[in-house]
């Protein structure tokens, strides 16, 4: 196992370097540069050239690449052009926010998706199955930003001014304006309160997909011979479903979980926009538009690393749950 | 040239941190300025505590509470006036955190602010400011003439990359241009020019004791900008969380003569990138002021009994620039016909819901030169446009609905606009439909914003026509756009040549007296209409929603934050 791990990790290094190199040169080819982005009337060509040289962009491309690579290998990602602070500071500012939101959403949607999918498969073609299918399909096909706006409308606007509920949910931001003056308990509650709508918007869409996946995986498993054997030897249905079917049906879902891990890092841009959640997704998109090379490089490198790690994790978990792979 | 870019409306929407930058020549370690904030913050805290102890809050029910303002964008470049001239950041520098030497009254006449008074010598070559002696940086150091001189040296140092060097075009730049007479007196040397005080209304003064040692090319990376800025204005910086919010608190020691402590205890600037969310927050009370509302949101704001709709004419002009280097656009009759073929009234209705007015030149309704009666309009006249095109030799020779010249080339024009700019997309589509009526084939094309900048504002000039808008400054200087001696310049979009226009552009910059300059401005605009380098579309109104719980929010062409010192929160809403 450790040999396998070592081989995979070593194999990832040239892959990551290759991705970083590719991103670097693709960015360099893209029209415009950070100085172009700042151009405004009144600016002379001299000023533009100055800004370019303040950014270090007057140097030859290859030299820039070598310098960037050297610095990166020592953990120095440079300064973000658009935030005016070290790239690592920028990531440190936004990453925890994204991890909190997408972490909550991922956990909830996997738990929800597995439970609902298993339930549907266990009662295939029942009323529960059809109703759940329709509902899940509805959420699955909703654009997440539209769903987010509708949730906002119902649980904040209508709840407050039309139906006069005793409570309503905050529509944007991570904390209230009086956050600093709250006690520890109050702060935790305030954060959780702000998490509800964005998490639910993300979760609904994700859950639907995972439940569909789980349902078909489960149906696949219940058709297997060993399930028939389990039933034939007179085991109670509950044991058959939960012990024999469910555990085996979870194996492909684990792969799915691995694929979702990069989401933890990138967040989801639309949800971040709608709920003004200061996370990585918006920061990355803004950085690309502004040609903020150092920030784009660092985030895409980390993103690629997350994909590699996610896949690796999925494979390892796979081996853990499936003895055939472990020993094969 | 004195006008700020507002090309990519949608960029603002994306909350792009625009005007700042960094990433020095060498990759720099994360700790280059690490100690700065740790050193500065305790001094500011101590100063505010001392000031609060010395100046008690007056017994007036207007004092107290937190007002939250929401907009789509963070403040790029933050409070560093030397590296940013973007609209919202400048508003915070001028009216919230920092101070300018002079400020405008509602008629745009300069009034004392950080400068108690000033005088100019008879030939307008020496300008002397006498500063107030009771203004302190929020770390307790007094603001004096050395700060003013430092600010001037910094913004005129090319290494800084100050975005709008045209402010200082007719000042003697660099260290020779400024003289510190004593701690509260400073003299600048300049050549006579119109509205020469405007630069001192625009550019806030920076603290020399904090930034004096910073190499100018590293200013863009300095923590002063947005991590721990130290101002001297009516509000003290408290906190900035990127893409989330800025928090300011009242400065208890702000000079009584300038109004003393502001009424609200705290002013929060929230970043909410989605317009729909902003509106929801305003209507549900999460924010009290929504700056930069969209025209299609105005109805909803008006319908709410707890919210006021505030609009004012802004100095933003939207236009289509025609690239006269292209053979089909070289003839001014063609460009005039294109303007005549566009129903601008309909565009203002469709795009702005009526919150705007038709433009015929770069002189906006906020400028003192504005006089619509003196400038000939180019009204919607499809028949006139057809006749003019025919006269210029563009006739539909093959009956396909598109005019051709004698050589058989069709009158096809690609009209570019930047991605995400919904309003510009509407403009391009309306123009396509309207100009098809007169036999012109307009092809709208959307381009990523930075790519489009690279196509427009470099030597490439890779476009036929483009939909844009500028935020003009109070001091107008159109030379970068229309002076044919600057044709190789980045901003000569149209590239038309008109010696008469060139001469006029020079003259306009040097006439100090407004009464003498007014007829010249009228003449200039007549020449511009004749030349038609652009089809000017409209001037934009800015729209804001303000909850009625915030009193005395007076807003005019100087900007939304101009009266922030006097806003006060209804005690019932605290």
Partners of residue A191 in chain B, C-beta under 8 Å: none
Tell me the shortest Cα–Cα distance from B158 to chain A, in angstroms.
7
Burial label for B511, CB within 10 Å (0-12, 13-18, 19+), is middle
Q: What is the pLDDT of residue A166?
A: 86
- pLDDT tens per residue across span B479-501: 889 998 888 778 899 999 999 99
Residues 6 or more apart from B466 whose CB is under 8 A from it? Answer: B320, B321, B323, B415, B416, B417, B452, B456, B493
State ipTM. 0.88
Q: Do B274 and A283 touch (CB under 8 A)?
A: no
- Local structure of residue B255 (DSSP, 8 states): -
Whether A54 and B167 lie within 8 Å, measured CB to CB: no
Model confidence over B502-511: pLDDT tens digits? 999 999 988 9
Task: Report the alpha-carbon distance of residue B84 to residue B449 in Å, rounded.
Answer: 19
Give the count of beta carbons closer than 10 Å to the beta carbon of residue A89: 18
SS3 call for B535: strand
Nearest C-alpha of chain A: how many angstroms from B221? 4
Q: A109-159: per-residue pLDDT in tens?
A: 999 999 999 999 988 899 999 999 999 999 988 888 889 999 999 998 898
Considering only residues 159 to 218 of chain A, which have any Cβ-Cβ distance to chain B shorter than 8 Å?
160-161, 168, 170-174, 177-178
Cβ pair B23:A290 closer than 8 A: no
CB A154 within 8 A of CB A279: no
Q: Using an 8 Å Cβ cutoff, are B535 and B319 in contact? A: yes
For residues B280 and B290, the answer to whether their CB atoms sit within 8 Å is no
Residue with tokens 């204005």: B233
B217 contacts A50? CB cut-off 8 A:
yes
Per-residue pLDDT tens digits for B282-327: 999 999 999 999 999 999 999 999 999 999 999 999 999 999 999 9
Q: Is the distance from CB of B501 to CB of B484 less than 8 angstroms?
A: yes
What is the pairing mode between strands B550-551 and B126-131?
Answer: unpaired
Decide if B262 contacts B565 (C-beta within 8 A): yes
Contact assignment for A174 to B244 by CB distance below 8 Å: yes
Considering chain A, what is the average pLDDT of its residues?
Answer: 87
Supply A159's token pair: 């709840």
Contact B271 A177 (CB under 8 A): no
Interacting residues of B83 by C-beta distance below 8 A, sequence separation 6+: B19, B20, B21, B77, B160, B161, B162, B163, B219, B220, B225
- Average of per-residue pLDDT across B524-551: 96
φ, ψ (nearest 5 deg) of residue A325: -75, -40
CB contact under 8 A, A43 and B24: no
Query: What are the structure tokens assigned to A102, written together?
Result: 């997408």
Q: Give the DSSP H or E segment for B315.
A: strand B307-322
For residue B494, the chain A residues in CB contact (below 8 A) are none
Nearest to A89 among B4, B21, B30 (CB): B30
Q: Tell me if B166 sits within 8 A of B477, measured CB to CB.
A: yes
Give CA–CA dist B3/A155, Å, rounded. 44
Of A33-47, A261-275, B281-295, B372-386, minimum mean pLDDT range: A33-47
Alpha-carbon distance values, B569 to A123, B66, B264, B548, B572 (Å): 59, 7, 7, 9, 8
* pLDDT at residue number A320: 77
User: Which residue from B162, B243, B245 is facing A282, i.e. has the nearest CB?
Assistant: B243
Q: Which chain B residue has its CA at the smallest distance from A68's CA? A: B27
Supply the pLDDT for residue A35. Answer: 81
Residue of A24, A38, A41, A72 to mutate, interface with B, max B Cβ within 10 Å = A41
Is B480 in contact with A82 (Cβ distance < 8 A)? Answer: no
Give B-chain residues touching A46 at CB under 8 angstroms: 158
Contacts of A288 in chain B (CB under 8 A): none
Q: How far apart are the first and last CA of chain B?
A: 45
Which residues of chain B neighbour A197 with C-beta distances below 8 Å? none
So what's the pLDDT on residue A11? 85
Long-range interactions of B298-302: CB distance < 8 A, separation 24+? B298/B353, B298/B355, B298/B543, B301/B543, B301/B545
- Please answer whether residues B276 and B84 qualify as being in contact, where contact means their C-beta atoms are separated by less than 8 angstroms: no
The DSSP secondary-structure symbol of B123 reads T
Contact B17 A286 (CB under 8 A): yes
Q: Tokens in use for B248?
A: 């300011």
A116/chain B closest Cα distance in angstroms: 32
- Pull the structure tokens for residue B337: 């016909």
- Whether B370 contacts B445, CB under 8 Å: no
CA distance B231 to B210: 11
pLDDT given for residue B29 in this prediction: 43
B363 SS3 class: coil
pLDDT exceeds cutoff 90 at B269: yes
Report pLDDT digits (tens) over B470-482: 889 899 989 889 9
Q: Which residues of B touch A157 (CB under 8 A)?
A: 280, 283-284
Overall average pLDDT of the A223-240 stretch: 90
**For residue A291, is it left (φ>0), alpha (ψ between -120 and 50) or beta?**
left
Residues B57-87: tens digit of each pLDDT: 999 999 999 999 999 999 988 999 999 888 9
Q: Chain-centre distance of CA B387, in angstroms?
A: 39
Distance from CA of B491 to the nearest CA of A (A): 7
The per-residue pLDDT of chain B, averaged, comes to 91
Q: What's the alpha-carbon Rg for chain B, to the nearest Å? A: 25
| Nearest residue, CB atoms, B284 vs list A157, A290, A291 | A157
Residue-level pLDDT at B32:
67
Pairs across A and B, CB distance < 8 A: 232
Averaged over A227-255, what is the pLDDT?
87
pLDDT category at B1 given cuts 50, 70, 90 is very low
- Report CB contact under 8 Å: B453, A273: no
Nearest by CB to residue A173, choosing from B223, B270, B276, is B270
The answer to whether the Cβ–Cβ distance between B490 and A43 falls below 8 Å is: yes
Q: How much is the pLDDT for B441?
A: 97
| Beta carbons of B321 and B465 less than 8 angstroms apart | yes
Helices (H), B444-484: 449-456, 479-482
Q: Which CATH architecture has domain A91-327?
A: Orthogonal Bundle (1.10)
Considering Cα of B70, then B73, then B74, then B79, what sign does the dihedral take? Answer: negative
A191 within 8 A of A175, measured Cβ to Cβ: yes
Query: In this complex, do A276 and B273 lie within 8 Å of one another by their Cβ atoms?
Result: yes
Is residue A231 within 8 Å of A246, Cβ to Cβ? no
User: Per residue in A52-70, pLDDT tens?
Assistant: 888 888 889 999 999 888 8
To the nearest whole percent, how much of chain A has pLDDT over 90? 36
DSSP 8-state symbol, B94: I
Q: Which residue of B has its CA nearest to A170?
A: B286
| Of B14 and B218, more confident | B218
Which residue do the tokens 């639907």 mark?
Answer: A208
CB B207 within 8 A of CB B230: yes
Q: State the average pLDDT over residues B409-433.
A: 95
Domain boundaries, chain A: 91-327
Is B448–A289 a contact, with Cβ atoms under 8 angstroms apart? Answer: yes
Enclosing H/E stretch for A62: helix A61-73
Residues A90 and B226: their CA atoms lie apart, in Å, by 12
Cα-based distances in Å from B290 to B11, B131, B229, B279? 18, 35, 24, 7
Residue A284's nearest CA partner among A294, A263, A270, A299 is A299
Q: Which long-range contacts (CB under 8 A, 24 or more apart) does A14-20 make?
A: A15/A304, A15/A308, A16/A301, A16/A304, A16/A305, A16/A308, A19/A300, A19/A301, A19/A304, A20/A69, A20/A72, A20/A297, A20/A300, A20/A301, A20/A304
Sign of the dihedral defined by the CA atoms of residues B129, B166, B526, B414, in that order: negative
DSSP line for A167-179: -----SSSS-TTG
pLDDT computed for residue B360 by the predictor = 95
Min distance A324 CA to chain B CA atoms (Å): 48
Residue of B258, B251, B219 lying closest to B235 (CA atoms): B251
Check CB contact of A296 with chain B, cutoff 8 Å.
no
CA distance B1 to B362: 12
The token pair at B539 is 């001037």
Helix axes A144-152, B275-284, angle to 10 degrees: 10
In whole angstroms, give the CA distance from residue B263 to residue B91: 18
Residue B175 CB neighbours (<10 A): 12
3-state secondary structure B390-416: HHCCCECCCCCCCCECCCCCECEEEEE
Q: Label the pairing between strands B66-71 and B266-271.
A: parallel
Indicate the residue of B29, B276, B280 with minimum beta-carbon distance to A76.
Answer: B29
Q: Which positions ≥6 away from A125 have C-beta within 8 Å?
A: none
In this predicted model, what pLDDT tens digit does every residue of B387-415 receive, in sequence order? Answer: 999 999 999 999 999 999 999 999 999 99
Residue B560 pLDDT greater than 60, yes or no: yes
Distances (CA, A) of B133 to B113, B153, B183, B205, B321: 12, 22, 9, 14, 49
Alpha-carbon gap: B407 to the closest alpha carbon of chain A (Å): 34
Q: Are B520 and B507 in contact (CB under 8 A)?
A: yes
Cα dihedral angle (B201, B3, B430, B388), rounded to 10 degrees? 120
What integer pLDDT is reported at residue B435 of this predicted model?
97
């Amino acid at each position: 196992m450790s040999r396998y791990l070592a081989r995979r990790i070593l194999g990832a290094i040239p892959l990551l370097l290759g991705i970083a190199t590719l991103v670097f040169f693709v960015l360099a080819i893209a029209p415009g540069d950070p100085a172009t982005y700042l151009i405004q009337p009144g600016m002379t060509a001299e000023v533009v050239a100055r800004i370019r040289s303040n950014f270090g962009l007057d140097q030859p491309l290859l030299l820039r690449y070598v310098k960037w690579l050297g610095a990166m290998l020592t953990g120095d990602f440079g300064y973000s052009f658009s935030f005016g602070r070290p790239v690592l500071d920028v990531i440190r500012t936004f990453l925890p926010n994204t991890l909190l939101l997408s972490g909550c959403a991922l956990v909830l949607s996997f738990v929800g998706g597995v439970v609902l999918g298993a339930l549907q498969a266990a009662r295939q073609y029942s009323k529960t199955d059809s109703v759940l299918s329709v509902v899940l399909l509805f959420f699955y096909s909703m654009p997440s930003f539209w769903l987010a706006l509708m949730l906002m409308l119902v649980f904040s606007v209508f709840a407050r001014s039309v139906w006069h509920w005793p409570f309503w949910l905050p529509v944007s931001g991570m904390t209230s304006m009086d956050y600093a003056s709250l006690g520890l308990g109050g702060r935790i509650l305030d954060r959780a309160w702000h998490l509800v709508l964005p998490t639910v918007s993300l979760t609904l869409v994700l859950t639907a997909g995972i439940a569909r996946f789980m349902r078909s995986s489960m149906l696949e498993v219940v058709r297997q011979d060993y399930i028939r054997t389990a039933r034939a030897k007179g085991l109670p249905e509950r044991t058959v479903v939960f012990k024999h079917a469910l555990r085996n049906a979870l194996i492909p879902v684990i792969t799915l979980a691995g694929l979702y891990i990069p989401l933890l890092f990138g967040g989801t841009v639309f949800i971040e926009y709608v709920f003004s959640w200061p996370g990585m997704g918006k920061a990355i998109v803004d950085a690309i538009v502004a040609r903020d090379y150092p920030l784009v490089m660092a985030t895409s490198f980390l993103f690629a690393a997350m994909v590699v790690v996610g896949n690796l994790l999925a494979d390892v978990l796979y081996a853990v749950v499936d003895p055939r792979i472990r020993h094969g | 040239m004195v006008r700020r870019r507002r090309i990519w409306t949608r960029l603002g929407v994306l909350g792009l941190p625009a005007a700042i930058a960094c990433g020095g020549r060498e990759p720099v370690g994360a700790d280059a300025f690490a100690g700065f904030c740790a050193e500065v913050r305790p001094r500011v805290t101590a100063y505010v505590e001392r000031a609060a102890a010395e100046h008690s809050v007056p017994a007036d029910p207007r004092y107290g509470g937190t007002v939250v303002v929401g907009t789509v964008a963070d403040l790029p470049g933050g409070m560093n006036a030397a590296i940013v001239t973007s609209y919202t950041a400048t508003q915070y520098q001028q009216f919230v955190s920092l101070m300018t030497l002079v400020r405008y009254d509602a008629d745009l006449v300069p009034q004392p602010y950080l400068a108690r008074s000033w005088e100019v010598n008879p030939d307008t070559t020496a300008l002397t400011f006498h500063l107030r002696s009771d203004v302190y940086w929020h770390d307790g150091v007094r603001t004096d003439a050395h700060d003013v001189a430092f600010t001037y040296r910094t913004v005129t140092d090319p290494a800084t990359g100050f975005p709008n060097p045209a402010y200082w075009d007719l000042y003697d730049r660099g260290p020779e241009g400024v003289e510190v007479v004593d701690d509260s007196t400073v003299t600048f040397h300049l050549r006579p020019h119109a509205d020469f005080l405007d630069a001192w209304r625009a550019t806030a003064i920076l603290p020399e004791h904090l930034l004096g040692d910073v190499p100018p090319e590293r200013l863009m990376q300095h923590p002063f900008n947005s991590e721990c800025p130290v101002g001297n204005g009516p509000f003290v910086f408290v906190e900035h969380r990127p893409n989330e919010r800025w928090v300011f608190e009242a400065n208890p020691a702000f000079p009584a003569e300038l109004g003393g402590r502001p009424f609200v205890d705290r002013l929060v600037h929230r970043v909410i990138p989605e317009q729909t969310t902003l509106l929801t927050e305003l209507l549900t009370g999460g924010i009290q002021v929504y700056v930069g509302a969209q025209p299609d949101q105005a109805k909803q704001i008006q319908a709410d009994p707890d919210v006021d709709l505030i609009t004012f004419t802004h100095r933003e002009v939207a236009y289509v620039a025609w690239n006269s280097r292209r053979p089909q656009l070289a003839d001014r009759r063609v460009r005039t016909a294109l303007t005549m073929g566009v129903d601008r009234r309909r565009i203002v209705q469709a795009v702005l819901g009526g919150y705007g007015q038709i433009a015929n030149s770069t002189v906006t309704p906020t400028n003192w030169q504005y006089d619509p009666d003196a400038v000939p309009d180019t009204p919607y006249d499809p028949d006139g446009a057809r006749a003019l095109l025919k006269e210029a030799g563009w006739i539909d020779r093959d009956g396909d609905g598109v005019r051709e010249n004698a050589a058989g080339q069709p009158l096809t024009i690609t009209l570019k606009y930047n991605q995400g700019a919904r309003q510009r997309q509407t403009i391009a589509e309306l123009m396509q439909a309207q100009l098809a009526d007169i036999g012109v084939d307009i092809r709208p094309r959307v381009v990523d914003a930075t790519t489009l900048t690279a196509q427009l504002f470099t030597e490439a000039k890779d476009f036929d026509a483009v939909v844009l808008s500028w935020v003009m400054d109070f001091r107008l200087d159109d030379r970068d756009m229309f002076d044919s001696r600057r044709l190789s310049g980045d901003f000569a979009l149209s590239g038309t040549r008109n010696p008469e226009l060139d001469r006029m552009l020079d003259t306009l910059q040097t006439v100090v007296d407004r009464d003498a300059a007014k007829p010249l401005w009228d003449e200039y605009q007549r020449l511009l209409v004749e030349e038609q380098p652009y089809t000017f579309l409209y001037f934009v109104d800015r729209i804001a929603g303000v909850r009625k719980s915030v009193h005395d929010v007076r807003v005019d062409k100087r900007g939304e934050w101009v009266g922030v010192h006097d806003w006060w929160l209804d005690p019932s809403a605290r």
